[in-house]
Amino acid sequence: MKPIRKLAFVVNEEKTGASELARTLVAAARKAGVKMKQTTRFPIPRGYLSDCDACCVIGGDGTLLGVARESARANVPIIGVNRGSLGFLTTFSADESRTHFSELLKGQFRIDHRAMLDCSTSPGQHDFALNDVLIKDEINSRIVRLEVFAGQELVTDYTCDGLIFSTPTGSTAYNLSAGGPIIHPDAGVIAMTPICPHTLSNRSIIFRQDVKLRVINRTPNSRLLVAMDGQRNLKVGMDAPIEITMSTIRLPLAQRADYSHFSVVRTKLKWNGHLVDKSGIQT
């Protein structure tokens, strides 16, 4: 990658240590002659990244999700530094960011292009999601009946608390908590996972990435809530179908050259087991 000449910082001041870490990284960038802009606001406004080479997000995954749409639109890589809890998206730790920041500024990183979902609820009402699209009743406790089509083919209808449509990146978020599968980020698929369905068979369905999904509300006198990445809501008419496709834009996510997705998953989910080196010794 080319060296970074202009860098945006997005800092979540509510996260412990985020402001202090930001001061350290800003000083390092200034010493390297990098131009900068900084904000504590997220989601960031449209156009904020248009003249930047990269964006350093210091916070948790929620902070990064607040930057993802604009980063994807502008095709500006995100360097995610974790000051939250799990940090599946903000894969650089505070120590790693301090140690490797000069290398990152020199362009010594790789880019993963993460798939995003495009959800439309009516003409002019659509948005992008990096993790997931959640469909449920506006009233939390109410069960809904949702009919799902893949193209023109009826998949099934669910009586449930809601449906989660997830990208591979989002498979370790709400989808995982609801019993859905873990999917490698490079897989070209969309996962649909029901939330507490009234059936003895509770299984996710995996669709190919070129599918056009359509959800129709069959619940009498019910209005749906459509949440994008758990941060933004789309308005839905009483009888309007909800359409979900894989977006044509992708999120450029900066990673170290030796990044391993399953190493991150093992660490974050605290999987047990031992690695065996070439000599056969467990580590």
Give the whole-angstrom CA distance, residue 55 versus residue 64: 10
DSSP secondary structure code for residue 189 in this structure: E
Q: Domain spanning 116-248 has what CATH number?
A: 2.60.200.30
pTM of the model: 0.91
Average pLDDT, the chain: 92
Strands (E), the chain: 6-11, 35-39, 54-59, 78-82, 110-122, 125-129, 132-137, 144-150, 153-160, 162-166, 189-195, 205-208, 213-217, 224-228, 232-234, 242-255
Place of tokens 């990146």: 169
Which burial class, exposed, middle or buried, applies to 15 when counting CB atoms under 10 A from its CB (0-12, 13-18, 19+)? Answer: buried
Predicted confidence at residue 277, as pLDDT, reads 62
Q: Please, which residues have CB within 8 angstroms of residue 159's CB and are 6 or more apart in sequence?
A: 143, 144, 145, 197, 198, 199
Positive/negative CA dihedral, 137, 241, 175, 254? negative
Instruction: Give yes or no for a contact between 185 and 215, defined as CB atoms under 8 angstroms apart.
Output: no
> Mean pLDDT per 10-residue run, the chain (283 residues)?
96 96 97 96 92 97 96 97 86 92 95 97 92 93 94 95 97 95 96 92 92 96 94 89 97 89 80 65 59
In tens, the pLDDT along 216-271 reads 999 998 899 999 999 999 989 888 999 999 999 999 999 988 888 888 788 778 78
In tens, the pLDDT along 181-198 reads 999 999 999 999 999 999
Superfamily grouping for domain 6-109+256-268: Probable inorganic polyphosphate/atp-NAD kinase; domain 1 (3.40.50.10330)
Where exactly are the structural domains of the chain?
6-109+256-268, 116-248
| Equal CATH topology for 6-109+256-268 and 116-248 | no
Give the whole-angstrom CA distance, residue 175 versus residue 272: 21
**Catalytic residue positions?**
61
